[in-house]
């Protein structure tokens, strides 16, 4: 038995060496693509603003020997993102998020053109659609059994007429299946939108890049997929031992009430390796303190998430632990891949808004794989559905609505003004209390009064009960023009005790006098008396030394040898 075990391990190692030599010696572009997945989210305040996340695996040796964190330019296949509206990105740069030196691949996430710090690509569409966003270039690996040297295409559909975001999935770059038996694996997926249901199918040949075969098939046995669960099953009798087969699965996002309504699709393109039947009977396992596989982490942005993943194998030989789909900013310590038996690494991440799926893959010396998948549903504490402004005179009213709230203490309203084209520091001008926890729509408003002429911008600082906060910016600037009329506003508050504010606007430069009289016509206060330029003005009046009663305030403007007067009344109630 021990001799057979050694033979099995040695045979698997030989296959790996042969594949590695093929990968490395074939330096043509035909050997570079291994995996692809394209997803998107939308700006809650502007459905036309779409943020794409593109994750791809390429032949590592085609870019030197980059390590996790390296940035590469994908100039082997000149991969660019085509937006579907006759525009596209230039050749993309990617940040490496995982490597597998033994199988010569790197997994990387596309970067915003011109900004290597952003692991996503933002596009603002015109109204309409749907749009087919995709990567579509050449070439797949030259050693694939079913689609060697052929083009690759990974796509998703975007409809900017609604707020729907795409599902998210993840798989190992290479899924290992045992030769000669019916093997199964799951294509996991999570959808950030409510009232949706997911369906799985294999991509058509055109969807996959006009390839020759999908699903993979050998010996008269094609792979099959359960369209309700995403479980792929393939009887690999007749499949080439050590052979690589490409496969693409489409995940359909459909309406839960009426599944005939298709909202969007996403694709997962990956490789299947046919491994030998191993004499060793045990698969790698994930042990405590590893969280239960399939756990969904539901948190808010800014929450630290940390856990340890531990894997082992009862059979002789080491196992390799790797991770696929780590979210932006997440780290593993020690860095993966890691070899040992047992082997462990700690996941650390400060949660960012979005939905993510991470798969940890433990592979033993015989090629047997065990997957442990986690979902992360990181929702903003407040999901803003609208944020707008209206201007009346020199007052700005902000109105916003939320579709849901979690642990929401409230909103600080912050304002900045442009001075000679430069934006000032932000200042807090008010606060509105939130609804705490709510799953229904809530509406809010705040009026910023008595502003001077100028150009302003606003943002909401949403604060939760733990002190965490998130900013929401008004999409457009607010313009307060110069007055076009002579106007004296009603004091506020009214009635008052003992103080109130009086606002007025003057359309021309001149001498301005603002006075207060009692009910008998006696002057009791002079609030302003002098030259003022065109603009909006507010003065405070304190009646602490006056008795309760009705008072009158008069505004006089002398300009260009003309005099204009307006009078209003107010009530002091003590």
Residue 296: how many CB atoms within 10 A of its CB?
11
CB of 146 closer than 8 Å to CB of 203: no
The domains of the chain, with CATH numbers, are 2-339+353-378 (no CATH), 382-480 (2.60.40.10), 487-572 (2.60.40.2550)
Token pair of 264, please?
């969007």
Higher pLDDT, 564 or 404: 564
Check pLDDT > 80 for residue 279: no
519 or 9, higher pLDDT: 519
Quote the CA–CA distance of 301 and 470 in Å, as a whole number. 8
Task: Judge whether residue 299 has pLDDT over 70.
Answer: yes
The token duo for 36 is 């692809």
> Omega of the bond prior to 337 within 30 degrees of 0, cis?
yes
pLDDT at 16 over 70: no
Q: Does the pLDDT at position 451 exceed 60? A: yes
Task: Specify burial of residue 544 (Cβ count, 10 A radius: 0-12, 13-18, 19+).
Answer: exposed
CA distances from 9 to 16, 183, 238, 239, 284 (A): 11, 20, 22, 20, 15
The predicted structure's pLDDT at residue 300: 80
Partners of 455 in the β-ladder: 479
Instruction: Give yes or no for residue 572 having a pLDDT over 80.
Output: yes
**3-class secondary structure, 191:** coil
SS3 509: coil
Confidence of residue 31 (pLDDT cuts 50, 70, 90): low
Which range is least confidently modeled, 264-273, 310-319, 378-387, 435-444? 378-387
Mean pLDDT, residues 528-538 taken together: 93
290 phi and psi, to 5 degrees? -55, 130
- Whether the pLDDT of residue 285 is over 90: the answer is yes
For range 402-429, the mean pLDDT: 91
Residue 13: predicted pLDDT = 39
Q: Tell me: pLDDT of 9 over 70.
A: no
State yes or no: pLDDT of 36 exceeds 70: yes
**Is residue 406 scored above 90 in pLDDT?**
no
| % of the chain at pLDDT higher than 70 | 95
* Sign of the alpha-carbon torsion through 84, 87, 89, 91: positive
Position 569 pLDDT exceeds 50: yes
**What is the pLDDT at residue 289?**
96
Residue 254's nearest CA partner among 244, 264, 246, 245 is: 264
Higher pLDDT, residue 89 or 142: 89
Buried b (16+ CB within 10 A) or exposed e, 327-363: beebebeeebbbeebebbbebebebebbbbbbbbbbb
| The pLDDT value given to residue 24 | 36
pLDDT over 90 for what percent of the chain?
72
Q: What is the mean pLDDT of residues 216-222?
A: 93
What is the rounded average pLDDT of the residues 287-313?
93
| pLDDT 10s digits, 255-278 | 999 999 999 999 999 999 998 887
> Among 219-223, 229-233, 254-258, 383-387, where is mean pLDDT lowest?
383-387
Task: Return the pLDDT at 119.
Answer: 94
- Is residue 236's pLDDT more than 60? yes
Give the pair of three-digit tokens for residue 282: 């045990």
- For residue 69, the model assigns a pLDDT of 93
For position 461, what pLDDT does the model report? 94
Count CA atoms within 13 Å of residue 170 on its CB side. Answer: 23
pLDDT tens-place string over residues 116-164: 999 999 999 987 789 999 999 999 998 999 999 999 999 999 998 888 8
How many CB atoms are located within 10 Å of the residue 222 CB?
Answer: 14
Q: Name the average pLDDT for the chain.
A: 89
pLDDT tens profile 38-53: 999 988 777 889 999 9
Contact 66, 95 (CB under 8 A): no
Q: What is the mean pLDDT of residues 277-299?
A: 89
Work out the number of other CB atoms within 10 angstroms of the CB of residue 291: 15
The stretch 11-39 carries a mean pLDDT of 54
Structure-block tokens of residue 366: 């015989």
pLDDT digits (tens, 9 = 90+) for 455-481: 999 999 999 887 878 889 998 899 998
pLDDT at 359: 94
Q: Are 356 and 168 in contact (CB under 8 A)?
A: yes
pLDDT digits (tens, 9 = 90+) for 58-81: 999 999 999 999 999 999 989 999
Q: Is the pLDDT of residue 23 over 80?
A: no
CA distance linking residue 358 with residue 296, whole number of Å: 11
Range name among 19-23, 201-205, 476-480, 497-501 with the lowest pLDDT average? 19-23
> At 540, is the pLDDT very low, low, confident or very high (cuts 50, 70, 90)?
very high
> What length is written for the chain?
574
Per-residue model confidence (pLDDT) at position 22: 39
pLDDT at 1 over 70: no
CB 380 within 8 A of CB 332: no
Whether the CB-CB separation of 5 and 315 falls below 8 Å is answered with yes
pLDDT given for residue 4 in this prediction: 25
pLDDT band for position 180 (cuts 50, 70, 90)? confident
């Amino acid at each position: 038995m021990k001799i057979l075990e050694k033979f099995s391990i040695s045979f698997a190692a030989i296959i790996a060496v042969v594949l590695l030599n093929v990968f490395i010696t074939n330096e043509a572009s035909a050997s570079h693509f291994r995996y692809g997945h394209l997803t998107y989210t939308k700006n809650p305040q502007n459905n036309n603003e779409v943020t794409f996340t593109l994750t791809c695996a390429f032949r590592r040796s085609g870019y030197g020997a980059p390590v996790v964190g390296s940035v590469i330019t994908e100039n082997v296949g000149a991969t660019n993102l085509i937006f579907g509206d006759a525009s596209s990105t230039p050749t993309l740069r990617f940040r490496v998020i995982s490597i597998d030196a033994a199988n010569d691949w790197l997994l990387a996430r596309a970067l915003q053109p011109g900004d290597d710090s952003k692991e996503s690509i933002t596009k603002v569409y015109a109204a309409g659609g749907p749009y087919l966003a995709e990567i579509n270039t050449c070439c797949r690996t030259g050693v694939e059994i079913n689609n060697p040297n052929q083009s690759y295409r990974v796509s998703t559909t975007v409809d900017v007429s609604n707020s729907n975001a795409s599902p998210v999935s993840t798989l190992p770059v290479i899924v290992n299946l045992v030769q000669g038996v019916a093997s199964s694996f799951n294509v996991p997926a999570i959808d950030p939108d409510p009232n949706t249901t997911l369906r799985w199918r294999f991509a058509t040949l055109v969807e996959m890049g006009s390839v020759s075969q999908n699903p993979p098939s050998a010996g008269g046995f094609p792979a099959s997929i359960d369209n309700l669960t995403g479980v792929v099953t393939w009887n690999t009798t007749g499949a080439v031992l050590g052979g690589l087969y490409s496969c693409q699965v489409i995940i359909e996002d459909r309406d839960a009430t009426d599944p005939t309504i298709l909202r969007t699709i996403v694709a997962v393109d990956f490789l299947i390796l046919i491994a030998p039947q191993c004499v060793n009977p045990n698969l790698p396992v994930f042990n405590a303190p590893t969280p239960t596989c399939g756990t969904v982490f539901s948190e808010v942005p800014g929450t630290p998430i940390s856990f340890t993943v531990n894997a082992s194998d009862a059979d002789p030989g080491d196992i390799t632990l790797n991770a696929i789909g780590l979210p932006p900013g997440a780290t593993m310590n020690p860095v993966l891949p890691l070899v040992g038996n047992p082997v462990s690494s700690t996941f650390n991440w400060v949660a960012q808004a979005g939905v993510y799926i991470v798969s940890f893959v433990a592979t033993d010396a015989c090629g047997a794989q065990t997957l442990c998948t986690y979902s992360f549903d990181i929702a903003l504490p407040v999901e803003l559905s609208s944020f707008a402004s209206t201007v009346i005179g020199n007052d700005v009213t902000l109105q916003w609505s939320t579709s849901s709230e979690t642990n929401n203490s409230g909103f600080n309203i912050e304002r900045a003004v442009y001075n000679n084209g430069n934006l000032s520091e932000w200042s807090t001008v008010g606060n509105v209390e939130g609804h705490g926890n709510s799953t229904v729509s809530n509406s809010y408003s705040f009026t910023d009064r008595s502003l001077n002429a100028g150009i302003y911008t606003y943002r909401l600082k949403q604060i939760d009960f733990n002190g965490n906060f998130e900013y929401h910016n008004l999409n457009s600037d607010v313009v307060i023009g110069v007055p076009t009329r002579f106007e004296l506003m009603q004091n506020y508050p009214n009635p008052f005790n003992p103080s109130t504010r009086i606002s007025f606007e003057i359309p021309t430069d001149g001498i301005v006098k603002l006075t207060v009289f009692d009910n008998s016509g006696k002057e009791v206060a002079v609030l302003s008396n002098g030259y003022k330029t065109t603009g909006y003005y507010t003065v405070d009046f304190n009646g602490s030394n006056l008795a309760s009663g009705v008072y009158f305030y008069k505004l006089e403007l002398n300009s260009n040898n003309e005099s204009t007067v307006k009078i209003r009344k107010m009530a002091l109630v003590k």
